[in-house]
Structure 1
Amino acid sequence: MNIGLIVNPIAGMGGKVGLKGTDGENILKRAIEAGAIKESPYKTIKMLKILKEHKKPINIMTVSGDMGEAECLEAGIKPEVVFVTGGTTSFKDTEEAAREMIRRKASVIVFAGGDGTARNIYNVVGDKVPVIGIPTGVKIHSAVFASNPKNAGRAVINYLENNRSILKDREVMDIDEEGLRYGRVSAKLYGYMKVPFDKQYIQGLKSGSNSTDKGIISRISKYIVDNMEEDTYYIVGAGTTTKAILERLNLEYTLLGPDVIYNKKLILKDANERDLIKISKNKKVKIIISPIGGQGFIFGRGNPQISGSVISNVGVENIIIIATPAKLLSLLGKGLQADTGRDEIDALLKRSYKIIVDYGEYYVMSCKD
């Protein structure tokens, strides 16, 4: 059983520092200068440790260096290196490695990255070989990703060991990073790839709000504003549902990044992780977020700046979740999800939450694996 593994080692580096992604050399340079660290290798290792539990012989075909080889060795797996990079890696290495894995008849190709990496894989693979994405990027709208790195490993084992998974055509989506940085969301469907689908392991396609939700969102925002406590910092996460709060207060806002309110005044716009760690340390702070429609993520998607360190400072008891009934309906059978990259934080987040669904109305939903 041949498993292809391709890692985009820089995927996700721009998220916590507020750059909305790492597409392009200039943005990568800015991310590094801002103190960003590589997270994709660490998350890939988590997936590989699950694969190591596989009882039958498997062969992992991968790329040299930190595009797969280093992660395998760190996880205690000796891989077969089938493609060697020239040192500095790029999307061309991803595409050439995928071609080589197809030629060597990979049973499934597992890749670590975000929507940009999914597009690179799609350009070569199409529907030739099943794929499973390890979510390590900032933009993860596509439906080809597992819900978290460990579930990516479980999905691979399920497919190879039991053959219980049904191959489904799943969407490859991507949005314009440059537009994102200016508050414009433009998502585009690029195509479909075949994914061993099991709803307990594979995430759904991100769904947006509809026009009928506007009145409910307005009432939710009024309830939040009416009940804001004095001398308390409010970290308001990304999204149209949460931004209604700042609109009600006549404040500027960042559609795709967190803003901070204190005594109903905007004190920080488009905050990065460092800003939020500083604000949340030894202060009275609450986090207001809304789950991603169709996926259920409250952390680990959409709000990378609100990291595990920020959540640890604030405390899970100070998390306020808001959502329309329609959004929660899209999550039935899935529940809420968290993928912060820190197991101890994800464990703390696995609890029941009272979600505000209208003015003074709540619905209880749990966060689970």
Structure 2
Amino acid sequence: MSRFHLGLIINPLAGLGGPAGLKGSDGVAAQALALGSAPKAAQRTRTALEGLLPVRERLEFLTFPGSMGAELLADMGFAHRVLEEAGAGPTSAADTRRAVERLQDAGVALILFAGGDGTARDVCAAVREDQPVLGIPAGVKIHSGVYAISPRAAGELTRRLVEGGLVRLASGEVRDLDETALREGRVAARWYGELCVPEEGGFVQQVKQAGVESEELVLSDLAAWLEDSWEPGVRYVFGPGSTLHGLAQNLGLQTTLLGVDVIEDGQVIAEDVNELQLHGLVADHPARLLVTAIGGQGHILGRGNQQISPRVVRAIGLDHLRVVATKRKLATLQGRPLLVDTGDVQLDDAFPDAVRVWAGYKEELLYPLSTGV
């Protein structure tokens, strides 16, 4: 079984200023230590990771030396890789930003980070728009909407993702107080940006109940979202299957049920294309790829859509692939991951451990993906 890859960054200085009455830890960690404060970020992270012990054999963490993650993971028995050698001296904001960049380049499904609002600011400064992250609350100031409500909640939410639970993606605000102003008795908050964070959707129980989700209404909602977000001059490749066929019908477009069709500027420009035709249409043109999952089985590529070949996928780019599936269809997988089997091992290995799934109007889920190895 292939392992699910998670990133972990611990800010070992997070939270030091709280017990010392310093209203935060930014720039005052040494003072807080001198006043007797003890580091707690590792313990808070341990509490979160305890929730992942039942799925430990399915995980591999990518992390950084010593107190930034490797020390704790080794102690808890989690498989992990350290991405760089230990540096001298205490960790810094620059270390956090560099760590985020390294984890993104490595293609982790989710970055877990332990800290406070200052750490969230550093993550926000380096993270890409579509990289899912989740904060483990360990700082003094936790005003940002990117943290789980508790370390245990962070572990539970991550475990649900690994096990194939339906986890919705949302935008969380990063806000931080001006600590200098706070120490002077003034409260001044500032917005620093937004991060892509997983939320507990609570969907699995609902979709098992009859009548909770209407396939027709969901496809109508998805069509409205897509119609609102068409990119001019971009070619949208619709894979085969009833989900995408129904989506096209709701857009007033006639596509083939079992074929691959190409849409540009709201019009079908090519129907039921073969691999050669499709590659010619996307090789030197901006394109997006929409596929769906085979119900109950989970394949998104390599079963019934071989026109979407490895070279077509590479031409479009993995960043431009989106899975379209209702929550009811995902529930038929009973927690099993989505699957890819393109026939190109190198391409299959390049897929992330979790993909974004369009499941409703402006509603995206993060769902596990596997090559079946």
Pair 1:4 & 2:7 matched: yes
Structure 2 residue aligned with 1:189, among 167, 172, 191? 191
Name the residue aligned to 1:110: 112
Q: Which amino acid aligns with 2:41?
A: S
Give distance in 2, aligned partners of 1:29 and 1:56. Answer: 38
Q: Secondary structure at the match of 1:100?
A: helix
Question: Residues 52-91 of structure 1: matches in 2 within 5 Å?
Answer: 52-54=53-55, 57-88=58-89, 89-91=91-93
- Per-residue deviation, 1:178: 0.9
Please list, as runs of the form range in 1=range in 2, the aligned pairs for 1:136-175 lying within 5 A after superposition: 136-175=138-177
Give the letter for the 1:20 counterpart. K
Contact 2:177 2:188 (8 Å CA) reproduced? yes
Task: State how 1:18-29 maps to structure 2 within 5 Å.
Answer: 18-24=21-27, 27-29=28-30
Report 1:330-369 matches (<5 A): none
Identity %: 38
SS in 1 for 2:100: helix
Letter in structure 2 aligned against 1:186 = A
Measured in 1, the distance between the counterparts of 2:137 and 2:159 equals: 17
**Residue 119 (structure 1) shift:** 0.6
Contact persistence 2:117–2:144 (CA under 8 A): yes
TM-score by length of 1: 0.52
1:171-229 Cα distance to aligned partner (Å, 9 max, x none)? 111111111111111111111111111278xxxxxxxxxxxxxxxxxxxxxxxxxxxxx
Shift of 1:97: 1.1
Mapped contact 2:59–2:79 kept (Cα < 8 A): no
| Distance in 2 of aligned mates of 1:122 and 1:53 | 30
Q: 1:92 to 1:33 in 2, by over 3 A?
A: same
Report the aligned-residue RMSD: 1.5
1:16 is matched with 19
Read off the aligned partner of 1:181 and give its amino acid letter. R
Quote the Cα distance in structure 2 between the aligned partners of 1:113 and 1:181: 20
Secondary structure of the residue aligned to 1:11 is coil
Q: Is the 8 A contact 1:6 1:63 kept in 2?
A: yes
Instruction: For residue 45 of structure 1, report the CA deviation from its aligned partner.
Output: 1.0
Change (3 A) 1:125 1:163: farther
Question: Aligned-pair distance for 1:163?
Answer: 3.9
Cα 1:69/1:104, change in 2 over 3 Å: same
The code of the aligned residue for 2:25 comes to T
Please report how far the alpha carbon of residue 55 of structure 1 lies from its aligned counterpart in structure 2 after TM superposition. Answer: 6.3
Q: Is there any run of 5+ residues in structure 1 with no aligned partner, and where? A: 201-369
Secondary structure in structure 2 of the residue aligned to 1:162: coil
Per-residue deviation, residues 150-179 of structure 1 (Å, max 9, x unmatched): 111111112232241110011111111111
SS at match of 1:190: strand
CA deviations over 1:5-60 (Å, ceiling 9, x no partner):
00000100110110011111xx1121011100000011111111211212661110
| Structure 1 outlier segments of 4+, above 4 Å | none
1:94 alignment partner in structure 2: 96
Could you tell me whether the CA contact under 8 Å between 2:51 and 2:155 is conserved in 1? Answer: yes
Q: CA 1:96–1:55 in structure 2 vs 1: closer, same or farther (change >3 Å)?
A: closer
Contact 2:168-2:201 within 8 A present in 1 as well: no
Secondary structure at 1:109's aligned position in 2? strand
Alignment-derived partner of residue 215 in structure 1: none
Shift of 1:94: 0.8
Match of 1:37 in 2: 38
TM-score by length of 2: 0.51
8 Å CA contact 2:56, 2:78 repeated in 1: no
* C-alpha contact 2:59 2:78 (8 A) present in aligned 1: no
Task: Find the structure with the greater CA-based Rg.
Answer: 2
* Structure-1 residue corresponding to 2:48: 47
